[in-house]
Amino acid sequence: MELRSYDASGLSSEHALVSRFLLVLVGLAAVGVHTLLFALDVTLGSPRRIVYPYSPVAVLRFISVCKAMGLVIPLMAGVWLVGSGREGGSCGNVAALALGARKRFLGGVLFGVGYAGLVIWTLVGNPVGWAEHQFNMVSPSQDGAFLIEARSIDSVGAYLRAYPELARRDSDRLRGLRVLSNTPGISLLAYSVRMLNDWLPGFFDRMERGVLGDEADVDDPNREIAEGACMVAALTALWGMSIVFAYGLARLWWTPMTAVVVAVACVFTPSSVIFSPGKDPAQLFTTLGMLYFWFRGCRGADPASALGARKGAWACAAAGAASVVGAMVGLVHVWIAGIGLVATVWSMGLSWERQRTLLVRCVSPAVVGAVIVAVFAYLLWGWSIPATVVATARRYLEVQHDVLISPFHHNLMGGGIFVLLLGPAFWMLSVMGVVRRSRDEAGRLGRCVVVVTGAVMLCTYVFAQNAEVARLWVVFIPLLVWGAALLALSPGTESPRRRAVLTAVLACQLVGTMSQWSMMDARGTEDRVLSGRYFDD
């Protein structure tokens, strides 16, 4: 049987062709490997360090996935309409233009409804329900550590000023490393969640009744349940909204349909869905926001760009400010900012004129934006952000015990699990990029982004807890996917053949991600909830 094929560039038939059928097989290979490991009950992780268990209710999770397919259909239809709606825009008559605009609007609505539904599904689709989320929000080794920390905050200013000293606390007293390994941003988010009831009297009572229903005790409400539910909702919302910045970043290079597919591939990945709600997926909001402003500013700094130098400078200043705010959420933002800067410089080559333009119009405004935020924080709270970053980084290195263990192959398991949870879209785009062999400016940038990101990941793998990179590296996945997309997809108008390929990539990403979610209980909470042993060994 003859296999239909697609053009890797989407623009010219002169490029090499790859079978769409084979491309789908490549995308779903990781899902197939994961399914095989699940069927054979092969342990994911190192028993000496950390294990990511399979779900004891995988069948119920799979049923939940089947039900959620009702949300995938309108999302896919919306993306297709966004792409096909541009056909009318190329025609000269008013009726065709109006039809294209209506298609794009309807497509945007369908996509928004489908995507919002999937984000909510990740929150409520677990068969164990809110019991699992609630356990995570009270566990000191999970994100509940931030809520526990928030209950000790009496004054935000005093807490921030004392944070360099607080970072030296004994990890045994805190019963975990979650707080000590991070800057205070998520603890402040948890504090804001706790203050909701003061700002909106009675809010926690309504939240508890919404979570527990008839089991809620009206006379003696449980504040911890309401706080946990609000924190879960906040973390999920931040992760879900990160697609706005992912789309904005992709839109700098591609037309709407391509940008939507790349954005979904950056945000809705097996790793982010499995570990959501949580701090690490929520960080996609700040990391993608920082990257969006930086690259929008860099493109605006180009004299030939329609954005103009002034708008580019403002965007870079926003990127600098976002990098400081992000660093207060997690130190990984420093790495992400470094990747963006190095990849940009490298992709521009040895041209002194371009490097000087980058320094004057991009780097300088970014530094000014970062300094403004740091000075503002010092004037408002007397808080030294640089001292906080240095103290947290030092403490993080101190608490990383036994980074390398024996036997040696146990050190490779964390990376293997991360590769397993990258998502089908990355592999499909990577194959397309290899076939296309891009030599244009976007391709050079994509190649630089992938190489620099890989180098940073290798560095953090050697000097940090490599067993947990499946969770810790969630924020690196958008860089890898976006870099691969720059190599695979040239900027330009979508052809029907290219739309078909993008549809296949999106379908594989959604179905593959949800399938892998159905097999995992990565935090090991389902077994605890079902057995009722919770914190007992």
Q: What is the DSSP string of 23-48?
A: HHHHHHHHHHHHHHHHHHT---EETT
What pTM, to 2 d.p., does this model score?
Answer: 0.89
Percent of the chain with pLDDT over 90: 46
For the chain, what is the mean pLDDT?
Answer: 83
User: Alpha-carbon distance 445 to 439, whole Å?
Assistant: 10
* Contact between residue 367 and residue 373 where contact means Cβ atoms under 8 Å apart: no
- If DSSP codes are grouped into helix, strand and coil, which group holds residue 401? coil
* Contact between residue 509 and residue 268 where contact means Cβ atoms under 8 Å apart: yes
Under 8 Å CB-to-CB from 309, ≥6 apart: which residues?
300, 301, 303, 361
User: Alpha-carbon distance 35 to 32, whole Å?
Assistant: 5
> In terms of Cα–Cα distance, which of 306, 317, 318, 246 is closest to 281?
246
H/E run at residue 5: strand 5-7
Residue-wise pLDDT tens digits, 429-486: 999 888 877 778 888 999 999 999 999 998 887 766 677 888 889 999 999 999 999 9
Listed range (12-16, 42-46, 394-398) with the worst mean pLDDT = 12-16
> In terms of Cα–Cα distance, which of 5, 169, 112 is closest to 497?
5
Query: Tokens standing for 107?
Result: 């497509």
Residue-wise pLDDT tens digits, 414-445: 888 999 999 999 999 999 888 877 778 888 99
Cis upstream peptide for 127 (omega within 30°): no
**Residue 1 has what pLDDT?**
28
Query: Tokens standing for 458?
Result: 């290798």
- If DSSP codes are grouped into helix, strand and coil, which group holds residue 181? coil
User: Alpha-carbon distance 427 to 436, whole Å?
Assistant: 14
Listed range (229-233, 370-374, 458-462, 470-474) with the worst mean pLDDT = 458-462
Reply yes or no on whether the pLDDT at 502 is more than 50: yes
Task: Specify which residues 54 forms β-bridges with.
Answer: 520
**Residue 8 has what pLDDT?**
42
The one-letter code for the residue type at 216 is A
**Residue 429 has what pLDDT?**
93
Reply yes or no on whether the pLDDT at 501 is more than 50: yes
Query: Tokens standing for 53?
Result: 């268990």
Task: Specify which residues 7 forms β-bridges with.
Answer: 17
- Which residue reads 């991360």 in tokens? 418
Cis upstream peptide for 478 (omega within 30°): no
Tell me the HSE value of 318 on the side-chain side, using a 13 A CA sphere. 19
Give the CA-trace dihedral at 278, 275, 502, 315, to 10 degrees. Answer: 30
**Residue 213 has what pLDDT?**
60
Using the CB atoms, write b or e for 357-388: b if 16+ within 10 Å. bbeebbbebbeebbeebbeebeeebebbbeeb
Maximum alpha-carbon separation in the chain: 73
H/E run at residue 18: strand 17-19
